[in-house]
């Protein structure tokens, strides 16, 4: 064997016998890649809603559910149910009263309620009171068209 061939063979053999310390960067790089891929997969699956749930979202939904059970929406106002009182519809001239979408006479009529029927309202100082009918229709009625047991 020529001296050049021996030198070439010797350098190839030394290249094949790397020390264990020389392989650590490759091993650590591979582990880091696996951890990154796993973390990305967990985040994607969690955001898709397939596993786990967000505590903040659950808390917000729970509080919204409780609030919606305690309050009802009338037009753009939110009215606490606990403040509602029963009122009887009265009108000296007609046998019905119009329930309107907004607090004025020009507003759309949502429904009509017969004289003597009960509606639920929250009395206040304004001329138009928010009402909820027994059929769960929401609107406004002029306060002169109701009689409450205050």
| Confidence bin at 17 (pLDDT 50/70/90) | low
**54 vs 33: CA distance, rounded Å:** 27
Pairwise CA distance, residues 50 & 79, whole Å = 37
Work out the number of other CB atoms within 10 angstroms of the CB of residue 27.
10
Burial class (CB in 10 A: 0-12, 13-18, 19+), 143: middle
Cα–Cα distance, 62 to 39 (Å, whole number): 29
Residue-wise pLDDT for 74-130, tens only, equals 444 555 556 788 888 888 888 899 999 999 999 999 999 999 998 998 888 889 989
């Amino acid at each position: 064997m020529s001296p050049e061939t021996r030198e070439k063979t010797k350098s190839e053999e030394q290249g094949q016998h790397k020390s264990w310390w020389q392989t650590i960067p490759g091993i650590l790089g591979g582990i880091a890649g696996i951890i990154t891929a796993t973390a990305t997969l967990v985040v994607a699956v969690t955001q898709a809603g397939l596993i786990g749930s967000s505590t903040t979202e659950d808390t917000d939904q729970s509080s919204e559910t409780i609030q919606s059970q305690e309050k009802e929406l009338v037009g753009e106002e939110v009215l606490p149910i606990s403040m509602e009182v029963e009122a009887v519809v009265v009108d000296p001239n007609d046998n019905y009263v119009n329930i309107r979408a907004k607090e004025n006479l020009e507003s759309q009529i949502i429904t009509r309620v017969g004289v003597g029927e009960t509606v639920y309202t929250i009395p206040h100082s304004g001329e138009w009171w928010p009402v909820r009918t027994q059929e769960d229709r929401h609107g406004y009625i002029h306060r002169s068209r109701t009689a409450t047991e205050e």
